Chain A
Amino acid sequence: NAGVTQTPKFRILKIGQSMTLQCTQDMNHNYMYWYRQDPGMGLKLIYYSVGAGITDKGEVPNGYNVSRSTTEDFPLRLELAAPSQTSVYFCASSYFGTSGGGDTQYFGPGTRLTVL
């Protein structure tokens, strides 16, 4: 299993440009997440999805959009890039079963985005 893969690894955007960060998992996980990590800070949840076709906002969703048409893919869209979106973006996935309990989130390697 490749686990969680993210593309691209690095990207520089100009203010106002748009881009899509790709995330794919091959573990048949139902839950997927997008986080951002600013320097010296913990991870903040942007959006998450509990299954194909279902998404919900996290702590910092403004300026981002997501979609989930398949179990495997969860792309994150930046429509009008701003310098405040300069960060490292991590995608994660987990399996949350009907029996309850917590889940283990598996993280991708991250995308480093700079907006100038």
Chain B
Amino acid sequence: QKEVEQDPGPLSVPEGAIVSLNCTYSNSAFQYFMWYRQYSRKGPELLMYTYSSGNKEDGRFTAQVDKSSKYISLFIRDSQPSDSATYLCAMSESGRALTFGSGTRLQVQP
């Protein structure tokens, strides 16, 4: 079993849709949870960062962490074609060395 599981997609949605991306994990010691966005042939860029359980909102993006279920989510409201990318979840015990999911490819259709 992988330490972090993420549905690879691809996920195709129409412009304006609400997108839900998810990861599950097995290591209960993870405390730091991140979502990275990676455009094709580019390096990942940090989108959202959450410590421990709870919700965090930033514009159209909301990150949720449920440590009791070992489950994290990223919601994108009013999705735009420019949101088309691969979304990687990442997590860490210490906030340093990260364990990544395999990424979900998202395509937002105009």
Contact = CB atoms under 8 A, between A and B. Distances in A.
Partners in one complex: yes
Interface of A: 4, 31, 33, 35, 40-45, 48, 58, 90, 92, 94, 96, 100-110
Contacts of B34: 102
Of the candidates A90, A92, A103, A109, the one having the most CB atoms from chain B within 10 angstroms of its own CB is A103
Given A90-B43, A105-B46, A109-B43, A31 B96 contact: yes
Interface residues of B, number: 25
Interface string B19-48: 000000000000010100000011111100
A48 B97 contact: yes
Interface in B45-67: 45-46, 49, 51
B8 A108 contact: no
Contacts of A4: 43
B32 A42 contact: no
Contacts of A42: 4, 6, 88, 90, 100-103
Which A-B residue pairs are the 7 nearest by beta carbons?
Answer: A102-B95, A42-B100, A107-B43, A102-B32, A43-B100, A42-B102, A107-B44
Contacts of A104: 46, 49
Contacts of B6: 42
Contacts of B96: 31, 48, 94, 96, 102-103
A41 B97 contact: no
A16 B73 CA distance: 43
Contacts of B88: 42-43
B13 interface: no
Of the candidates B8, B51, B98, the one having the most CB atoms from chain A within 10 angstroms of its own CB is B98
Nearest to A102: B95
8 contacts: A42-B90, A45-B97, A96-B95, A102-B32, A102-B34, A102-B94, A109-B42, A110-B42
A103 B92 CA distance: 10
Given A43-B44, A43-B100, 14 more contacts: A40-B8, A42-B6, A48-B96, A101-B51, A101-B95, A102-B92, A102-B94, A102-B95, A103-B96, A104-B46, A107-B43, A107-B45, A109-B43, A110-B43
